[in-house]
């Protein structure tokens, strides 16, 4: 099974990378862009065949390593 973990900074946490991307987009003429937030996507190939257990494993991985849960939130999708 494949697990996709999306990690984003929590709202209210300063996102300098998102701000820089937003400024660059504006300088390129994309005036209609509002706030930009940057994150990361991690794809995991899991040997688990049960979707619920695979999701639980990926969530455990995210809590322990992939996301800093003090300042980041995450979501897990199983495909």
CATH of the domain at 29: 3.30.1280.10
**Average pLDDT value over all residues in the chain:** 97
Q: What is the pLDDT of residue 70?
A: 97
Task: Give 28-46 pLDDT, tens digit per residue.
Answer: 999 999 999 999 999 999 9
Question: Whole-model pTM?
Answer: 0.90
Q: How many domains does the chain have?
A: 1
**Predicted local confidence at residue 38, as pLDDT:** 97
Range list of H helices, 1-79: 16-27, 51-61
Q: How far apart are alpha carbons 55 and 47 in whole angstroms?
A: 12
Give pLDDT < 70 ranges for the chain: none
CA distance 12 to 28: 27
| Residues of the domain holding 7 | 2-78
Torsion of CA 6, 8, 10, 11, to 10 degrees: -120
- For residue 36, the model assigns a pLDDT of 97
- Tell the residue number behind the tokens 């820089």, with chain if given: 20
């Amino acid at each position: 099974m494949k697990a996709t973990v999306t990690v984003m900074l929590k709202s209210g946490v300063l996102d300098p990378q998102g701000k820089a991307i937003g400024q660059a987009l504006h300088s390129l003429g994309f005036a209609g862009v509002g706030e930009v937030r940057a994150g990361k996507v991690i794809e995991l190939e899991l040997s688990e065949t049960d979707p619920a257990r695979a999701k639980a494993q990926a969530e455990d991985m995210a809590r322990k390593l992939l996301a800093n849960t003090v300042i980041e939130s995450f979501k897990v999708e199983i495909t």
